[in-house]
A and B are shown apart, each in its own frame.
Chain A
Amino acid sequence: MSDIVGVINYGIAGNIHSIKKAIEKAGGTVKVINNKEDFKVVSKIVIPGVGSFKDAMKELENDNLMASLKEEIKTKPTLGICLGMQLLSTLGFEYGRTEGLSAIDAEVKPMLVDAKVPHMGFNNINVLNSNDLLKNLENEEFYFMHSYEVVNYTNIIALTDYAGHKFVSSIQKDNLYGVQFHPEKSREAGIKLFKNFLEL
Protein backbone atom coordinates (compact mmCIF):
# COMPACT_ATOMS: atom_id res chain seq x y z
CA MET A 1 0.00 0.00 0.00
CA SER A 2 1.55 3.23 -1.08
CA ASP A 3 -1.43 5.28 0.06
CA ILE A 4 -0.81 8.18 2.37
CA VAL A 5 -3.67 8.99 4.73
CA GLY A 6 -4.19 12.65 5.51
CA VAL A 7 -5.41 13.32 9.06
CA ILE A 8 -6.95 16.77 9.41
CA ASN A 9 -5.41 18.81 12.21
CA TYR A 10 -7.73 21.67 13.10
CA GLY A 11 -8.21 24.01 15.99
CA ILE A 12 -7.10 23.54 19.56
CA ALA A 13 -9.43 20.63 20.29
CA GLY A 14 -8.30 17.83 18.03
CA ASN A 15 -6.60 14.75 19.41
CA ILE A 16 -4.99 13.44 16.26
CA HIS A 17 -2.23 11.67 18.20
CA SER A 18 -4.16 8.46 18.82
CA ILE A 19 -5.65 8.30 15.32
CA LYS A 20 -2.23 8.66 13.73
CA LYS A 21 -0.85 5.93 15.97
CA ALA A 22 -3.72 3.55 15.20
CA ILE A 23 -3.43 4.02 11.42
CA GLU A 24 0.31 3.38 11.66
CA LYS A 25 -0.34 0.24 13.68
CA ALA A 26 -2.70 -0.87 10.90
CA GLY A 27 0.20 -0.51 8.47
CA GLY A 28 -0.62 2.89 6.99
CA THR A 29 1.39 6.04 6.45
CA VAL A 30 0.02 9.28 7.87
CA LYS A 31 0.45 12.86 6.78
CA VAL A 32 -0.95 15.42 9.20
CA ILE A 33 -2.87 18.04 7.25
CA ASN A 34 -2.03 21.48 8.65
CA ASN A 35 -2.68 23.54 5.54
CA LYS A 36 -4.31 23.11 2.15
CA GLU A 37 -1.01 22.33 0.38
CA ASP A 38 -0.73 19.15 2.45
CA PHE A 39 -3.74 17.63 0.64
CA LYS A 40 -1.68 17.17 -2.54
CA VAL A 41 0.28 14.16 -1.30
CA VAL A 42 -2.57 12.21 0.31
CA SER A 43 -4.98 9.81 -1.35
CA LYS A 44 -7.27 9.24 1.63
CA ILE A 45 -8.63 11.51 4.34
CA VAL A 46 -9.54 11.04 8.00
CA ILE A 47 -11.53 13.73 9.81
CA PRO A 48 -11.02 13.30 13.58
CA GLY A 49 -13.28 14.78 16.17
CA VAL A 50 -12.82 16.09 19.63
CA GLY A 51 -14.82 19.18 20.31
CA SER A 52 -18.23 20.65 19.74
CA PHE A 53 -19.85 20.90 16.30
CA LYS A 54 -19.95 24.69 16.39
CA ASP A 55 -16.36 25.08 17.49
CA ALA A 56 -15.03 22.53 15.00
CA MET A 57 -16.63 24.28 12.00
CA LYS A 58 -15.28 27.61 13.21
CA GLU A 59 -11.77 26.17 13.56
CA LEU A 60 -11.82 24.60 10.09
CA GLU A 61 -12.67 28.03 8.73
CA ASN A 62 -10.02 29.79 10.87
CA ASP A 63 -7.34 27.33 9.83
CA ASN A 64 -8.24 27.97 6.19
CA LEU A 65 -8.97 24.31 5.50
CA MET A 66 -12.71 24.43 4.84
CA ALA A 67 -12.83 25.08 1.10
CA SER A 68 -10.11 22.54 0.23
CA LEU A 69 -11.59 19.91 2.52
CA LYS A 70 -15.01 20.27 0.88
CA GLU A 71 -13.37 19.81 -2.51
CA GLU A 72 -11.07 16.91 -1.51
CA ILE A 73 -13.80 14.77 0.06
CA LYS A 74 -15.74 14.79 -3.22
CA THR A 75 -13.37 12.18 -4.62
CA LYS A 76 -10.92 10.79 -2.05
CA PRO A 77 -11.97 7.95 0.27
CA THR A 78 -12.79 9.73 3.53
CA LEU A 79 -13.48 8.51 7.05
CA GLY A 80 -15.13 10.82 9.59
CA ILE A 81 -14.72 9.73 13.20
CA CYS A 82 -17.26 10.74 15.89
CA LEU A 83 -17.61 14.50 15.49
CA GLY A 84 -15.76 14.03 12.19
CA MET A 85 -18.68 11.95 10.93
CA GLN A 86 -21.18 14.46 12.28
CA LEU A 87 -19.43 17.30 10.42
CA LEU A 88 -20.24 15.60 7.09
CA SER A 89 -23.90 16.50 7.74
CA THR A 90 -25.89 19.49 6.60
CA LEU A 91 -26.70 20.96 10.00
CA GLY A 92 -25.58 20.61 13.62
CA PHE A 93 -27.40 21.74 16.75
CA GLU A 94 -24.64 21.68 19.37
CA TYR A 95 -24.34 25.19 20.91
CA GLY A 96 -26.77 26.69 18.40
CA ARG A 97 -27.46 25.93 14.75
CA THR A 98 -24.34 25.49 12.60
CA GLU A 99 -23.95 24.49 8.96
CA GLY A 100 -21.81 21.41 8.40
CA LEU A 101 -19.75 20.26 5.41
CA SER A 102 -23.07 19.28 3.76
CA ALA A 103 -21.64 16.17 2.09
CA ILE A 104 -24.40 13.92 3.45
CA ASP A 105 -28.03 14.89 3.83
CA ALA A 106 -28.29 14.60 7.60
CA GLU A 107 -28.71 16.59 10.80
CA VAL A 108 -26.94 16.24 14.13
CA LYS A 109 -29.19 16.34 17.18
CA PRO A 110 -28.95 15.58 20.91
CA MET A 111 -29.50 11.92 21.82
CA LEU A 112 -32.89 11.53 23.40
CA VAL A 113 -32.71 8.42 25.53
CA ASP A 114 -33.82 7.34 28.97
CA ALA A 115 -30.28 6.61 30.15
CA LYS A 116 -27.05 8.39 30.99
CA VAL A 117 -25.81 10.83 28.33
CA PRO A 118 -23.07 11.09 27.02
CA HIS A 119 -23.31 7.51 25.76
CA MET A 120 -19.94 6.35 27.02
CA GLY A 121 -18.32 2.94 26.74
CA PHE A 122 -18.04 -0.17 24.58
CA ASN A 123 -21.07 -1.18 22.54
CA ASN A 124 -21.90 -3.38 19.54
CA ILE A 125 -22.71 -2.35 16.01
CA ASN A 126 -25.48 -3.92 14.00
CA VAL A 127 -24.29 -3.89 10.39
CA LEU A 128 -27.26 -3.39 8.04
CA ASN A 129 -25.54 -3.28 4.68
CA SER A 130 -22.40 -5.28 4.22
CA ASN A 131 -19.59 -3.01 3.10
CA ASP A 132 -15.83 -2.91 2.89
CA LEU A 133 -15.20 -0.69 5.92
CA LEU A 134 -17.02 -2.91 8.43
CA LYS A 135 -16.08 -6.22 6.79
CA ASN A 136 -15.54 -8.97 9.40
CA LEU A 137 -16.29 -6.55 12.24
CA GLU A 138 -19.96 -7.49 12.67
CA ASN A 139 -19.46 -9.03 16.11
CA GLU A 140 -16.94 -6.57 17.53
CA GLU A 141 -17.35 -3.93 20.24
CA PHE A 142 -16.37 -0.30 19.75
CA TYR A 143 -15.88 2.62 22.14
CA PHE A 144 -18.47 5.40 22.02
CA MET A 145 -18.28 8.83 23.68
CA HIS A 146 -20.94 11.24 22.42
CA SER A 147 -24.06 13.21 23.38
CA TYR A 148 -25.23 13.94 19.82
CA GLU A 149 -26.28 11.62 17.01
CA VAL A 150 -26.58 11.81 13.25
CA VAL A 151 -30.16 11.70 12.01
CA ASN A 152 -30.13 10.27 8.51
CA TYR A 153 -32.32 7.76 6.70
CA THR A 154 -30.61 6.92 3.45
CA ASN A 155 -26.93 6.23 4.08
CA ILE A 156 -26.97 4.02 7.17
CA ILE A 157 -24.63 1.05 7.20
CA ALA A 158 -24.79 0.26 10.94
CA LEU A 159 -27.06 1.01 13.88
CA THR A 160 -26.32 0.73 17.60
CA ASP A 161 -28.75 0.13 20.41
CA TYR A 162 -28.32 2.20 23.56
CA ALA A 163 -30.88 1.49 26.28
CA GLY A 164 -33.49 0.61 23.65
CA HIS A 165 -32.74 3.62 21.47
CA LYS A 166 -31.35 2.76 18.04
CA PHE A 167 -29.11 5.39 16.51
CA VAL A 168 -26.91 5.65 13.43
CA SER A 169 -23.43 4.39 14.27
CA SER A 170 -21.99 4.20 10.71
CA ILE A 171 -22.82 5.83 7.40
CA GLN A 172 -21.57 5.54 3.84
CA LYS A 173 -22.23 7.55 0.71
CA ASP A 174 -19.99 6.70 -2.24
CA ASN A 175 -16.41 7.46 -1.11
CA LEU A 176 -17.53 8.92 2.24
CA TYR A 177 -17.63 6.87 5.42
CA GLY A 178 -18.46 7.91 8.95
CA VAL A 179 -18.37 6.12 12.29
CA GLN A 180 -19.86 7.51 15.49
CA PHE A 181 -17.53 5.39 17.63
CA HIS A 182 -13.77 5.76 18.05
CA PRO A 183 -11.89 2.98 16.20
CA GLU A 184 -8.61 4.37 17.55
CA LYS A 185 -9.93 3.64 21.08
CA SER A 186 -11.45 0.24 20.38
CA ARG A 187 -8.53 -2.16 20.81
CA GLU A 188 -7.74 -4.60 17.98
CA ALA A 189 -11.20 -4.24 16.42
CA GLY A 190 -10.43 -0.60 15.71
CA ILE A 191 -7.07 -1.42 14.15
CA LYS A 192 -8.89 -3.89 11.87
CA LEU A 193 -11.28 -1.14 10.82
CA PHE A 194 -8.33 1.06 9.83
CA LYS A 195 -6.88 -1.89 7.88
CA ASN A 196 -10.17 -2.14 6.00
CA PHE A 197 -10.04 1.61 5.33
CA LEU A 198 -6.47 1.34 4.01
CA GLU A 199 -7.62 -1.40 1.62
CA LEU A 200 -10.50 0.65 0.15
Chain B
Amino acid sequence: MRTRIIVKFDVKPPYVVKPVHFEGLRKIGLPMDLAKKYYLQGADEVMYVDIVASLYQREILFDEVEKTANELFIPFGVGGGVRSIEDFSKLFHSGADKVIINTYAVQENPDIINQAAEIFGSQAIVVSIEAKKWKNNWECYTDCGRIQSNKDVIDWVKEVEKRGAGEILLQSVDCDGRQRGFDIELSKKVVEAVHIPVVISSGAGTLEDIKEVIEQAKPSGIAIASILHYDKYTVQDIKEYLRKNDIEVSK
Protein backbone atom coordinates (compact mmCIF):
# COMPACT_ATOMS: atom_id res chain seq x y z
CA MET B 1 0.00 0.00 0.00
CA ARG B 2 1.23 3.48 -0.87
CA THR B 3 2.02 5.54 2.23
CA ARG B 4 -0.17 8.63 2.16
CA ILE B 5 1.45 12.05 2.40
CA ILE B 6 -1.07 14.25 4.19
CA VAL B 7 -0.81 17.96 4.89
CA LYS B 8 -2.06 19.07 8.29
CA PHE B 9 -3.63 22.47 8.86
CA ASP B 10 -3.77 23.70 12.45
CA VAL B 11 -6.34 26.45 12.13
CA LYS B 12 -6.94 29.41 14.40
CA PRO B 13 -9.55 31.13 12.25
CA PRO B 14 -9.10 32.60 9.84
CA TYR B 15 -5.47 31.49 9.58
CA VAL B 16 -3.54 28.26 9.38
CA VAL B 17 -1.02 28.63 12.17
CA LYS B 18 1.88 26.56 13.34
CA PRO B 19 2.15 26.01 17.02
CA VAL B 20 5.47 24.96 18.50
CA HIS B 21 4.91 22.36 21.21
CA PHE B 22 1.24 23.21 20.67
CA GLU B 23 1.93 26.75 21.96
CA GLY B 24 3.39 29.94 20.49
CA LEU B 25 1.46 30.38 17.26
CA ARG B 26 2.80 31.60 13.93
CA LYS B 27 0.48 32.62 11.09
CA ILE B 28 1.05 30.69 7.87
CA GLY B 29 -1.78 31.72 5.54
CA LEU B 30 -5.42 31.23 4.69
CA PRO B 31 -6.66 27.61 4.52
CA MET B 32 -8.17 28.00 1.04
CA ASP B 33 -4.92 29.37 -0.43
CA LEU B 34 -2.84 26.67 1.20
CA ALA B 35 -5.31 23.97 0.10
CA LYS B 36 -4.80 24.98 -3.51
CA LYS B 37 -1.02 25.15 -3.11
CA TYR B 38 -0.73 21.66 -1.62
CA TYR B 39 -3.26 20.13 -4.00
CA LEU B 40 -1.10 21.32 -6.90
CA GLN B 41 2.01 19.99 -5.13
CA GLY B 42 0.49 16.51 -5.13
CA ALA B 43 -0.70 16.09 -1.53
CA ASP B 44 -2.72 12.90 -1.04
CA GLU B 45 -5.03 14.39 1.55
CA VAL B 46 -5.58 17.42 3.80
CA MET B 47 -6.46 17.30 7.49
CA TYR B 48 -7.85 20.53 8.90
CA VAL B 49 -8.11 20.96 12.67
CA ASP B 50 -9.56 24.06 14.29
CA ILE B 51 -7.26 24.06 17.31
CA VAL B 52 -9.18 26.58 19.39
CA ALA B 53 -12.82 25.57 18.79
CA SER B 54 -12.79 23.04 21.59
CA LEU B 55 -10.97 25.31 24.02
CA TYR B 56 -13.32 28.23 23.35
CA GLN B 57 -16.27 25.83 23.33
CA ARG B 58 -17.62 27.16 20.08
CA GLU B 59 -18.58 25.48 16.84
CA ILE B 60 -16.12 25.05 14.04
CA LEU B 61 -16.57 27.69 11.32
CA PHE B 62 -18.40 25.90 8.52
CA ASP B 63 -17.88 28.63 5.90
CA GLU B 64 -14.11 28.37 6.24
CA VAL B 65 -14.34 24.61 5.85
CA GLU B 66 -16.46 24.88 2.74
CA LYS B 67 -14.14 27.43 1.10
CA THR B 68 -11.19 25.13 1.72
CA ALA B 69 -13.06 22.07 0.43
CA ASN B 70 -13.74 23.90 -2.82
CA GLU B 71 -10.04 23.84 -3.70
CA LEU B 72 -9.56 20.12 -3.16
CA PHE B 73 -10.13 17.06 -5.33
CA ILE B 74 -8.51 14.85 -2.71
CA PRO B 75 -9.86 13.67 0.66
CA PHE B 76 -10.44 16.31 3.28
CA GLY B 77 -10.59 15.53 7.00
CA VAL B 78 -11.92 18.18 9.39
CA GLY B 79 -12.08 18.45 13.16
CA GLY B 80 -12.04 20.75 16.17
CA GLY B 81 -14.79 21.19 18.72
CA VAL B 82 -16.93 18.32 17.37
CA ARG B 83 -19.40 17.25 20.06
CA SER B 84 -22.59 15.98 18.44
CA ILE B 85 -23.93 13.92 15.54
CA GLU B 86 -25.25 17.19 14.15
CA ASP B 87 -21.69 18.58 14.07
CA PHE B 88 -20.56 15.52 12.09
CA SER B 89 -23.42 15.96 9.66
CA LYS B 90 -22.79 19.68 9.16
CA LEU B 91 -19.12 19.03 8.45
CA PHE B 92 -19.90 16.37 5.84
CA HIS B 93 -22.32 18.78 4.23
CA SER B 94 -19.62 21.48 4.25
CA GLY B 95 -17.37 19.25 2.18
CA ALA B 96 -15.51 17.09 4.72
CA ASP B 97 -14.96 13.46 3.75
CA LYS B 98 -13.78 12.48 7.21
CA VAL B 99 -14.47 14.03 10.60
CA ILE B 100 -11.75 14.17 13.23
CA ILE B 101 -12.70 13.99 16.90
CA ASN B 102 -10.65 14.12 20.09
CA THR B 103 -11.64 16.13 23.18
CA TYR B 104 -15.34 15.31 23.47
CA ALA B 105 -14.75 11.58 22.89
CA VAL B 106 -11.86 11.17 25.30
CA GLN B 107 -13.02 13.57 28.05
CA GLU B 108 -16.79 13.29 28.02
CA ASN B 109 -18.56 10.79 25.80
CA PRO B 110 -16.73 7.99 23.99
CA ASP B 111 -20.11 6.60 22.81
CA ILE B 112 -20.22 9.33 20.18
CA ILE B 113 -17.71 7.25 18.20
CA ASN B 114 -20.14 4.29 18.09
CA GLN B 115 -23.06 6.50 17.13
CA ALA B 116 -21.12 8.31 14.40
CA ALA B 117 -19.73 5.07 12.93
CA GLU B 118 -23.19 3.56 12.68
CA ILE B 119 -24.57 6.56 10.82
CA PHE B 120 -21.61 7.72 8.73
CA GLY B 121 -19.57 4.51 8.42
CA SER B 122 -16.22 3.81 10.10
CA GLN B 123 -14.21 5.02 7.11
CA ALA B 124 -15.31 8.60 7.82
CA ILE B 125 -14.44 8.70 11.54
CA VAL B 126 -10.91 9.72 12.54
CA VAL B 127 -9.90 9.80 16.19
CA SER B 128 -7.11 12.23 16.93
CA ILE B 129 -4.70 11.49 19.76
CA GLU B 130 -2.44 13.98 21.52
CA ALA B 131 0.07 11.76 23.26
CA LYS B 132 2.45 12.92 25.95
CA LYS B 133 5.10 10.65 27.37
CA TRP B 134 5.21 9.99 31.09
CA LYS B 135 7.85 7.52 32.27
CA ASN B 136 7.40 4.49 29.98
CA ASN B 137 3.84 5.20 28.92
CA TRP B 138 1.93 7.80 26.98
CA GLU B 139 -1.16 9.60 28.17
CA CYS B 140 -3.92 11.19 26.05
CA TYR B 141 -4.13 14.96 26.26
CA THR B 142 -6.62 17.38 24.77
CA ASP B 143 -6.89 21.04 23.83
CA CYS B 144 -3.43 21.33 22.30
CA GLY B 145 -1.70 19.38 25.02
CA ARG B 146 -3.13 21.48 27.84
CA ILE B 147 -5.52 19.09 29.54
CA GLN B 148 -4.87 15.59 30.85
CA SER B 149 -7.36 12.78 30.41
CA ASN B 150 -5.82 10.03 32.56
CA LYS B 151 -6.27 7.66 29.63
CA ASP B 152 -3.41 5.51 28.42
CA VAL B 153 -2.81 5.98 24.69
CA ILE B 154 -2.51 2.27 23.85
CA ASP B 155 -5.66 1.34 25.80
CA TRP B 156 -7.55 4.23 24.22
CA VAL B 157 -6.63 3.43 20.59
CA LYS B 158 -7.77 -0.18 21.12
CA GLU B 159 -11.00 1.10 22.63
CA VAL B 160 -11.76 3.53 19.80
CA GLU B 161 -11.11 0.80 17.23
CA LYS B 162 -13.69 -1.41 18.98
CA ARG B 163 -16.11 1.48 19.05
CA GLY B 164 -15.91 1.85 15.28
CA ALA B 165 -13.28 4.50 14.52
CA GLY B 166 -11.82 4.05 11.04
CA GLU B 167 -8.51 5.79 11.46
CA ILE B 168 -6.13 7.23 14.07
CA LEU B 169 -4.35 10.56 13.73
CA LEU B 170 -1.45 10.27 16.15
CA GLN B 171 0.13 13.49 17.37
CA SER B 172 2.88 13.84 19.93
CA VAL B 173 2.73 16.78 22.31
CA ASP B 174 6.46 16.31 22.98
CA CYS B 175 7.56 16.36 19.33
CA ASP B 176 5.03 18.61 17.61
CA GLY B 177 6.45 21.62 15.80
CA ARG B 178 10.04 20.97 16.93
CA GLN B 179 11.21 19.43 13.63
CA ARG B 180 13.50 17.02 15.46
CA GLY B 181 12.04 13.70 14.37
CA PHE B 182 8.99 11.59 15.22
CA ASP B 183 8.39 9.60 18.41
CA ILE B 184 9.17 6.29 16.72
CA GLU B 185 8.63 4.10 19.75
CA LEU B 186 5.13 5.51 20.28
CA SER B 187 4.36 5.27 16.54
CA LYS B 188 5.33 1.58 16.41
CA LYS B 189 3.28 0.73 19.48
CA VAL B 190 0.15 2.42 18.17
CA VAL B 191 0.41 0.91 14.64
CA GLU B 192 0.87 -2.55 16.18
CA ALA B 193 -1.99 -2.11 18.68
CA VAL B 194 -4.79 -1.65 16.11
CA HIS B 195 -6.02 -3.04 12.78
CA ILE B 196 -7.22 0.34 11.49
CA PRO B 197 -4.96 2.74 9.58
CA VAL B 198 -2.73 5.03 11.63
CA VAL B 199 -1.52 8.42 10.41
CA ILE B 200 1.57 9.67 12.21
CA SER B 201 2.12 13.35 12.82
CA SER B 202 4.43 15.64 14.79
CA GLY B 203 8.14 15.92 14.31
CA ALA B 204 9.19 15.90 10.65
CA GLY B 205 12.29 18.08 10.31
CA THR B 206 14.12 16.35 7.47
CA LEU B 207 13.29 13.91 4.70
CA GLU B 208 15.27 11.27 6.62
CA ASP B 209 12.91 11.68 9.60
CA ILE B 210 9.95 10.80 7.37
CA LYS B 211 11.70 7.83 5.79
CA GLU B 212 12.78 6.53 9.19
CA VAL B 213 9.33 6.59 10.78
CA ILE B 214 7.75 4.94 7.70
CA GLU B 215 10.37 2.17 7.66
CA GLN B 216 10.24 1.52 11.37
CA ALA B 217 6.58 2.01 12.29
CA LYS B 218 4.89 1.25 8.92
CA PRO B 219 2.04 3.74 9.28
CA SER B 220 -0.65 4.17 6.61
CA GLY B 221 0.12 7.85 6.29
CA ILE B 222 2.26 10.72 7.50
CA ALA B 223 0.75 14.10 8.33
CA ILE B 224 3.15 16.97 7.77
CA ALA B 225 2.87 20.65 8.68
CA SER B 226 5.95 22.75 9.57
CA ILE B 227 8.44 21.72 6.88
CA LEU B 228 5.81 22.30 4.18
CA HIS B 229 4.40 25.49 5.66
CA TYR B 230 7.89 27.01 5.91
CA ASP B 231 8.65 25.89 2.32
CA LYS B 232 11.59 23.81 3.42
CA TYR B 233 10.31 21.07 1.08
CA THR B 234 7.39 20.52 -1.28
CA VAL B 235 5.12 17.47 -1.24
CA GLN B 236 6.81 16.32 -4.47
CA ASP B 237 10.28 16.60 -2.83
CA ILE B 238 9.08 14.27 -0.11
CA LYS B 239 7.52 11.79 -2.54
CA GLU B 240 10.55 11.72 -4.82
CA TYR B 241 12.86 11.11 -1.89
CA LEU B 242 10.69 8.29 -0.56
CA ARG B 243 10.42 6.68 -4.01
CA LYS B 244 14.21 6.74 -4.35
CA ASN B 245 14.35 4.92 -1.04
CA ASP B 246 11.93 2.20 -2.21
CA ILE B 247 8.95 3.47 -0.24
CA GLU B 248 5.74 3.29 -2.27
CA VAL B 249 3.82 6.57 -2.59
CA SER B 250 1.12 7.74 -4.98
CA LYS B 251 1.92 9.90 -8.02
Which secondary structure dominates where chain A touches chain B? mixed
- Within the complex, the shortest CB–CB distance from A141 to chain B, in Å, comes to 5
Range, interface on chain B: 35 or more
Known: A22-B73, A184-B73, A186-B73. A120 touches B167 (CB 8 A): yes
Q: Are B118 and A122 interface neighbours, CB within 8 A?
A: no
Q: Count contacts on A: residues with CB < 8 A to the other chain.
A: 40
Residues on B with beta carbons closer than 8 Å to the beta carbon of A17: 66, 69, 93-95
Q: Which of A129-137, A143-151, A168-176 contacts B (4 or more CB under 8 A)?
A: A143-151
CA distance A177 to B29 in the complex (A): 41
Q: Are B121 and A120 interface neighbours, CB within 8 A?
A: no
A62 part of interface (Cβ distance < 8 Å): no
Residues on A with beta carbons closer than 8 Å to the beta carbon of B138: none
A-facing residues in B60-110 (Cβ within 8 Å)? 66, 69-70, 72-76, 85, 89, 92-98
A68 part of interface (Cβ distance < 8 Å): no
A109 part of interface (Cβ distance < 8 Å): no
Q: Which of A117, A122, A146 contacts B44 (CB 8 A)?
A: A122
Q: Which of A13, A14, A145, A163 contacts B75 (CB 8 A)?
A: A145
**Which B residues fall within an 8 A CB radius of A?**
1-2, 4, 44, 66, 69-70, 72-76, 85, 89, 92-98, 117-124, 166-167, 195-198, 220-221, 250-251
**Which A residues fall within an 8 A CB radius of B?**
12-15, 17-18, 21-22, 25, 50-52, 54-55, 83, 94-95, 115-118, 120-123, 141, 143, 145-147, 162-163, 182, 184-188, 190-191
